[in-house]
């Protein structure tokens, strides 16, 4: 029985330690436990929140879906989404960027977290820079677009 209690304490402390670096959530991280004990940073609340998260195994789901007070909109995730979207919709995006508007371009604006009208106007005005050659890939197009938008206020 003592071994089980010690093992349980070790596992619990490992769970708290591994999520201690979760930004802005406290030691327990995001998840159902964070929602139940929201705003409480004392040790007891964080232990109970971590126990709730560990028991329900909900943090992975929350991080993957952006629910349960978890944030799935990190730069790496957003960048990957825009990359994948650009590759799959490259032909439509090339046409819509030349025009400066369209459904695919609006979606890309959402993924890049920028204003649709400004993205449309920029892509139309700088089309030849974004598509530097006839062999421009979707990755090169997206890189040129992001670089140009970054330097354009």
Distance between CA 45 and CA 33 in Å, rounded? 9
Distance between CA 52 and CA 31 in Å, rounded? 9
Distance between CA 53 and CA 126 in Å, rounded? 48
pLDDT digit string, tens, across residues 15-30: 444 444 445 556 667 7
Q: Does 6 have pLDDT greater than 60?
A: no
Asked, for residue 91, whether it belongs to a domain, the answer is: yes
Based on the domain organization, do 84 and 47 belong to the same domain?
no
Based on the domain organization, do 37 and 86 belong to the same domain?
no
**Contact present, 124 and 99 (Cβ < 8 Å):** yes
Residue ranges making up the domain that contains 33:
2-65
User: Which pLDDT value is given to residue 40?
Assistant: 74
User: Quick one: the chain helix, strand, coil %, rounded to 5?
Assistant: 70, 0, 30
| Mean pLDDT for all residues in the chain | 77
Based on the domain organization, do 81 and 112 belong to the same domain?
yes
Total number of domains constituting the chain: 2
Confidence of residue 150 (pLDDT cuts 50, 70, 90): confident
pLDDT digit string, tens, across residues 88-100: 999 999 999 999 9
Q: What is the value of pTM for the model shown?
A: 0.50
Confidence of residue 55 (pLDDT cuts 50, 70, 90): confident
Q: Does 116 have pLDDT greater than 50?
A: yes
Asked, for residue 70, whether it belongs to a domain, the answer is: no
Based on the domain organization, do 25 and 53 belong to the same domain?
yes
Based on the domain organization, do 91 and 125 belong to the same domain?
yes
Based on the domain organization, do 55 and 88 belong to the same domain?
no
Average pLDDT over every residue of 123-130? 94
Average pLDDT over every residue of 113-131? 93
Based on the domain organization, do 49 and 81 belong to the same domain?
no
Based on the domain organization, do 89 and 147 belong to the same domain?
yes
């Amino acid at each position: 029985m003592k071994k089980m209690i010690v093992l349980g304490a070790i596992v619990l402390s490992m769970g708290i330690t591994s999520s201690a670096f979760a930004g802005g959530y406290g030691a327990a991280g995001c998840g159902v436990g964070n929602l139940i004990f929201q705003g409480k940073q004392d040790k007891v609340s964080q232990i109970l929140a971590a126990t709730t998260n560990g028991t329900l195994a909900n943090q992975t789901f929350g991080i993957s879906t952006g629910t349960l007070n978890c944030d799935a909109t990190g730069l790496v995730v957003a960048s990957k989404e825009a990359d994948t979207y650009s590759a799959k919709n490259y032909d439509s995006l090339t046409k819509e960027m030349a025009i400066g508007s369209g459904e695919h371009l609006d979606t890309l604006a959402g993924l890049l977290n920028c204003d649709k009208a400004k993205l449309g106007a920029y892509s139309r005005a700088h089309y030849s820079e974004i598509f530097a050659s006839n062999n421009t890939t979707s990755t090169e197009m997206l890189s040129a677009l992001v670089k140009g938008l970054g330097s354009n206020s």
